[in-house]
Amino acid sequence: MKPKILIIEDEEKFARFLEMELTYEGYEVSKAHHGRTGLEMAESGDYDLVLLDVMLPGLSGMEVLRRLRRTSSVPVIMVTARDSVMDKVSGLDTGADDYITKPFAIEELLARIRNVLRKAGPRAEGKVLRSGEVVLDPWSRRVTVGGVPVELTKREFDLLQYLLENKGIVLSRETILERVWGYDFEGETNAVDVYIRFLRSKIDEAFGLKLISTVRGVGYVIRDEN
């Protein structure tokens, strides 16, 4: 199967040029010209690699990366303008896999893409999260219990993923809010309790499990003995 690459780049001519080159190299390419649409597409789990421009309208490349990393570990190569050391440093801190500085030779980009894809390995490998019969696949954004698919909303999915990623660790409501809802969330901390209830009704009650435990006065945890 051809590796799928998403290009998030607002300069349409440049995006088309990249698309042509990458297609010629045998990649399957999609494009987004705005931060927000780019983020939505990247979150879909349909891509093997994201090429992300730092300077974007709507949502900056850095913000796209920050939000994407809440739910996805898809490899990201940041495209930074000129020689902005700050962009490189904060891009790598935020979870970019590599960066490349404009203007660049296409050969350099191709080498970086090959390198990042090689390091990432086959898509499904080691990325699936599970606890007992509950299996969550971040790439396809699917959850199954004993092989039976469970329909979750985006927020429910993100919450379950975060709990599974931190299996065995008791997570406070505040931590969960920060990581799943985002630092800019303004609302009630009981949003967490509400969504835990949703998850329990769709998973615990529906399948007779005890997946999510409440630790009184502290928060929530998934342990493996469910």
Residues that bind Ca ion (CB under 5 A): 10, 53, 55
> Least distance to Ca ion from the beta carbon of 200, Å?
44
Between 35 and 219, CB nearer to Ca ion: 35
> Least distance to Ca ion from the beta carbon of 83, Å?
16
> Least distance to Ca ion from the beta carbon of 97, Å?
19
State which residue has the least CB distance to Ca ion.
Answer: 55
Write out the DSSP string of the chain. Answer: -PPEEEEE-S-HHHHHHHHHHHHHTT-EEEEESSHHHHHHHHHTT--SEEEEESS-SSS-HHHHHHHHHHH----EEEEESTT-HHHHHHHHHHT-SEEEESS--HHHHHHHHHHHHHHH-STTTTT-EEETTEEEETTTTEEEETTEEE---HHHHHHHHHHHHTTT--EEHHHHIIIII-TT--S-THHHHHHHHHHIIIIIIHHT---EEEETTTEEEE-S--
Between 102 and 179, CB nearer to Ca ion: 102
> Least distance to Ca ion from the beta carbon of 31, Å?
13
Between 53 and 204, CB nearer to Ca ion: 53
Between 10 and 133, CB nearer to Ca ion: 10
